[in-house]
Amino acid sequence: MTTTPESVQVGDRIGLPALEARLRHEMELLNLPPKPWVPDSGDPALLDVLVVGGGLNGLCVAAALKFLGFTRLRILDRAPAGREGPWVTSARMETLRTEKPVAGPALGLPSLTFRAWYEAQHGHAGWTAMGKIPRTDWMDYMVWYRQVLDLPVSNGVEVTLIRPEGTAPVLVETAAHGTFRARRVVLATGIDALGGPAVPPAIAALDRRFWAHSSDPIDMPALKGKRVGVVGAGASAMDNAAAALEAGAASVDLLIRRAEMPRVDKFTGIGSKGMAHGFFGLPPEEKWRFFRIANAAQLPAPRPSVLRVSRYDNARFHFASPILSAAEDRGGLRVETPRGVHRLDYLILATGFTIAPEMRPELRLIAPHIRRWADAYTPPPGEEDAGLAASPYLGPSYEFLERIPGACPGLERIICFTFPAVLSHGKLTSGIPSVSDGARRVAEGLARSIFVEDRAKIRAAFDAYATPELLGDEWQPWEGPIEEDSSAAA
């Protein structure tokens, strides 16, 4: 039975029920999801694909898999439902940094876009009036996305160990929900998936009462009347500085290592579908140069984020001010930079993340075996970059590769659909704009690998298939005489 949408008029405030009807109709037009095709293993507990992470990347890749006929799927996320990803936890910006027209995780379906969701509730005028997407609205959209596509997410599940075992299923152990078994595992655990917060040695030894990383939960109201320092000049630094100022901090000193504020976002300037689909085909040296130049230029904070800070008279920007030392002193912190000493009550580190899989307890069995860029490529003198060298060197479907072939059988069954994949595949896992392109690449690669792995079962089904198209009653054989055409004979 075909679903008829209640409205197809773009821009009306049609309401979510009508939008969902329209989405169902679009999916029917595209035959989504298609019929299942992966042969039954006979083991009801065995998953075809287990996705670790129920945020943007995890939901999108699960939807892409569902749209390719996978049914034995499961998504695990340690956060409560509705708090997956950073949007309403560690993110402190007012709006997303992404421009609002992007289709994001819609996978080619117009009615699955954020714009369609927003206009259904606020109309075209509301969409036009909105500048950038409020981050809380984005979280609400992601909750709707999960629900409308009926994606199988289990919340409150913390993965403690991932154990590949050759050609056998990968074992995924959890803290309190037993062990899952899956033929393939997709890591979609965000920006710190293969490591953790980057913390300068001068800060790491201090009592945690005095500092936090920007990715930590921070009690901003508790900073009222405090002298706060923020390390960094990127978007996260500005967001945290603004949040502290808005909470009533007595002062906020931004300690910026660089002599000048970064101003140019290299990749946004040349972003295109060509970049999304072509980057993986570049030779290693060209990939390296793209990211080395981008790292050297550094990603600037959005203009509105900087203005959100600078409108406060008690915000101070200190350039050429890397931290030389930090110590507890008189109930607070004494932080020394080349330009002087700062007396602070609290310090927030917006210093990014390090790629170090050995930091992640759940990756402890595979971390020593993951092939890194340091194992695959040696840059020319002067082009070294330790952060890039630590990045995973991935296969064409985002799969991990072994550092030493044969040392960790089954490692290739684990997919790295996380931020550190960007050096291998380009900026498809770094945010909203190209996530659908990356998710399709993963899903298509998994479909190919599982099809090849199951080829004997699929061939057996092919050989056994005998459902006739013709029943034999569609024609009558001619039984009369056959006369030679005299003209043809002549």
- The pLDDT of residue 11: 56
Please give the domain boundaries of the chain with CATH numbers for all domains: 16-194+355-453 (3.50.50.60), 199-263+300-351 (3.50.50.60)
3-state secondary structure of 288: helix
Using the predicted structure, report yes or no on whether residue 350 has a pLDDT greater than 90.
yes
Q: What are phi and psi of 62, to 5 degrees?
A: -65, -40
Using the predicted structure, report yes or no on whether residue 99 has a pLDDT greater than 70.
yes
Q: Which residues are 74's β-sheet partners?
A: 50
Of 2, 6, 1, 34, the residue nearest 20 (C-alpha): 6
Using the predicted structure, report yes or no on whether residue 5 has a pLDDT greater than 60.
no
> How large is the average pLDDT for residues 314-340?
96
- 377-421 pLDDT, tens digit per residue, is 999 999 999 999 999 999 999 999 999 999 999 999 999 999 999
Write the secondary structure of 364-407 as one string of H (helix), E (strand) and C (coil).
CCCHHHECEHHHHCCCCCCCCCHHHHCCECCCCCCECCECCCCC
Res. 271 pLDDT band, cuts 50 70 90 = confident
Peptide bond preceding 33: is omega within 30 degrees of 0, i.e. cis? Answer: yes
Residue predicted with more confidence, 7 or 120:
120
Total residue length of the chain = 490
CB burial class (10 A; 0-12, 13-18, 19+) of residue 207?
exposed
Is residue 259 within 8 Å of residue 330, measured between CB atoms? Answer: no
3-state secondary structure of 315: strand
Predicted model pTM:
0.93
- Could you give the percent of the chain with pLDDT greater than 90? 90
In sequence order, what DSSP letters do the residues of 3-29 get, joined into one string? Answer: PPPS---TTS---HHHHHHHHHHHHHH
Average pLDDT, the chain: 94
Is residue 53 within 8 Å of residue 187, measured between CB atoms? Answer: yes
> How large is the average pLDDT for residues 205-234?
96
